Amino acid sequence: MELIPLVIGAAVFFIALAVIFAVVKGIMKIIFSVFSIIIVLSLVGGAFIASDFMDLRENFPNEEKTMLLKDENKALAGSIIISLEDENPTLITQEQLDSYSGYLQEDNLKAILGDKYKLIIVDLGALRELEAETFNLGEEYSKEFLISVLESDEPKSLFIEEYGEEPTMDELELKAAVFGVMFGNIGPIILIEQYKKDNIIFYPETAVFKVMRYLPVSVFKDTMQGVMSKVEEKIPA
């Protein structure tokens, strides 16, 4: 089986980053919908939640965010993203990943955050738990194979062994692309469930995220269903 251009081309990397941001942006919309209700109803701590809510709504779409994939305390891949319109996403270097692995072992997320607005860490376990068994990168690849690519220090060699051709992307770009495609299969509700399992981390965990951790998932499901119903009403029959 030959490696198709979508897998080996640099375009995959940028598409993957766009997918990552789209998923995160989607979950933030649901969070905003839920917390707009909470702010109105809440009397205790409402001011803190409201302040954080306004800060997220204003700054999350426009400020730099670090997306990092890890397996236990090992940083595997990542990038700096701002928005879907960002034409120059920054790939995290191997040297930075090695440093981040040390910080993960020390639980020093502040050092990884640096001067970025938000740090979003995805544990490989969240991808392992995806229901899909194959992922489409132009043709189907098994979840097992793609997980092995993300775990490997030499992912290009796995493609050579399996498909007989060497991807044109370097090791980090290849892993970032696979990360993006798989993360794109995490819907908003799954993201919240994985967040509650600590397989996805938002740092710093400000007021909105702290309250979200203790809200039942059903609250978000009901909100999402309401949003989808409104969308369907606007679609001509």
Of 67, 10, 56, 7, nearest to 30 (Cα)?
A: 56
The predicted pLDDT at position 103 comes to 97
C-alpha span between 120 and 133 (Å, rounded): 25
pLDDT given at position 36: 58
Structure confidence at residue 8 (pLDDT): 38
Q: Which of 171, 215, 229, 208 is nearest to 52 (CA)?
A: 208
Domain ranges of the chain: 5-230
Mean pLDDT per 10-residue section of the chain, whose length is 237 residues: 39 49 61 57 58 83 90 93 68 94 96 94 95 83 94 91 84 88 83 90 87 76 56 45
CA 37, chain centre distance (Å): 25
Kindly report the pTM of this predicted structure. Answer: 0.76
DSSP 154: -
Quick one: tokens of 159? 């493609």
Whole-number pLDDT of residue 14: 44
Q: Which pLDDT belongs to residue 23? A: 58
Nearest to 173 by CA among 88, 66, 101, 91: 91
Distance, in Å, from the CA atom of 100 to the CA atom of 90, rounded to the nearest integer, reads 16
Say how far apart CA 225 and CA 55 lie, in whole Å.
Answer: 26
∠ Cα 112 194 53 (to 5°): 65
Contact 211, 48 (CB under 8 A): no
Encoded amino acid at 99, one letter:
S
